[in-house]
Amino acid sequence: MKKGRGVFMKRLLAAFSVLLLLLSLFSFGSCSEQTVTKSVFAMNTYCTVTVPAKNADAADEIIRRVNALEALLSVSREGSDIYRLNYSDGEQTPIDNETALLLKRALELNSLLPAFDFSLFRLSLLWGFFDTPSVPDDADIKSALSHCGTDKLTVGDGFASLSGGAMVDLGAIAKGYAADEASKILLSHGVERALLNFGGNVFVLGTKQSGADYKVGIKKPYTEEILATLTGKDLFYVTSGSYERYFTEGGKNYCHIIDPKTGYPAESGLYSVTVVCEDGTLADVLSTAFFIMGAEASLDFINETHLCEAVFVTCGNGVIITDGLKDRFTLLSSDYALKD
């Protein structure tokens, strides 16, 4: 049975509420320190900041910064740089320098990891991921795919243009970039400890007041339970998962991450990938790309580049972790087994 927009949105919101619940794992661990949590709906998700109450100014500045980035980078907000670029009919479009820089970074990361292809927006629209999702005709998928390709994007200082009907979408990188910018604001305010959760892009600054590490939860796929926890300070933890946004048709689940080789939702045998590293933008891109590439190719990439640590949750109920996480990972569910 085809699921309509209502069901899709319900799932989307359920996923967000789980992410917010995850924050409760991040108890600041002290009766004496008061905290504040501020949240904003931006970049198609909830962006949440938790800081000690004395640092409320930093949280306010972060919310303002996230709103400003949303105004530039949103794919669906009329008047944003990305919206104007996508609907410019191939014309050169003036954009903010910050948007130009992020598009250039996205191009570089696409060269490193072709699975991260931010030119697939036409396909996301065809699959209805921004409206009412359903499986399109194969011919329409092939036709939309022929319009995609990052080679159709030209970026200069303060302008960009798209040829051949391509449309871009920074949904797999913008939250990570925003989290990077937010972490800079925390540091500039001298904040000692803080937790950010921008739709699955988590940043942990410092430790609990007791000196103990915060625990970051990885969700058990398609449930509201926690599968495993990770520890480690001053790091980004970014998860891409098939259960985050999906619809079901003909008894099959279709997720929102599209394989640029096929034009269909990625199916690489993974429920989720969590990437851990010091660069939020990179972590966001890596988690999306790894989800498409699958565990084996991603592990080869990590062994070659040493750019991050990662946790792969496989559809066979296995969990694979990279060596650097061995002492920082705890599996909480007996339904899943740690694999070598």
Binding part of the chain for ligand AMP, among 209-217, 274-282, 285-293, 325-333 by CB under 6 A, reads 285-293
For ligand AMP, the binding residue among 23, 73, 172, 196 (CB under 6 A) is 172
- Cβ neighbors of 143 (< 8 A, separation 6 or more) are none
- Short-list 20, 153, 11, CA closest to 93: 153
- Short-list 29, 20, 19, 12, CA closest to 207: 29
Per-residue string for binding with Mg ion, 269-308, x by CB under 5 A? ---------------x---x--------------------
Q: Does 109 contact Mg ion by CB under 5 A?
A: no
Phi (first) and psi of residue 140, to 5 degrees: -70, -35
For ligand AMP, the binding residue among 50, 93, 124, 322 (CB under 6 A) is 124
- Short-list 149, 130, 6, CA closest to 76: 130
Query: How many residues at the interface with ligand AMP, by CB under 6 A?
Result: 18
- Short-list 197, 242, 221, CA closest to 333: 221
Residue with tokens 């198609």: 44
Beta bridge partners of 205: 194
* Closest chain position to ligand AMP (CB): 171
Q: Both tokens of residue 309?
A: 């640590």
Question: Taking a C-beta distance cutoff of 8 angstroms, is the pair 209, 30 a contact?
Answer: yes
Instruction: Select the binding partner of residue 116 from Mg ion, ligand AMP, none (C-beta < 5 to 8 A, by kind).
Output: ligand AMP
Binding part of the chain for ligand AMP, among 141-149, 226-234, 253-261, 328-336 by CB under 6 A, reads 253-261
Residue 6 DSSP SS3: helix
For ligand AMP, the binding residue among 52, 217, 232, 260 (CB under 6 A) is 260
Q: Does 73 contact ligand AMP by CB under 6 A?
A: no
Q: Smallest gap, in angstroms, from Cβ of residue 173 to ligand AMP? A: 7
Q: Does 172 contact Mg ion by CB under 5 A?
A: yes
Cα dihedral 197, 203, 205, 209 sign = positive
Q: Does 257 contact ligand AMP by CB under 6 A?
A: yes
Question: Taking a C-beta distance cutoff of 8 angstroms, is the pair 338, 331 a contact?
Answer: yes
Residues that bind ligand AMP (CB under 6 A): 115-118, 120, 124, 169, 171-172, 240, 256-258, 260, 284, 287-288, 292
Footprint of Mg ion (CB under 5 A):
172, 284, 288
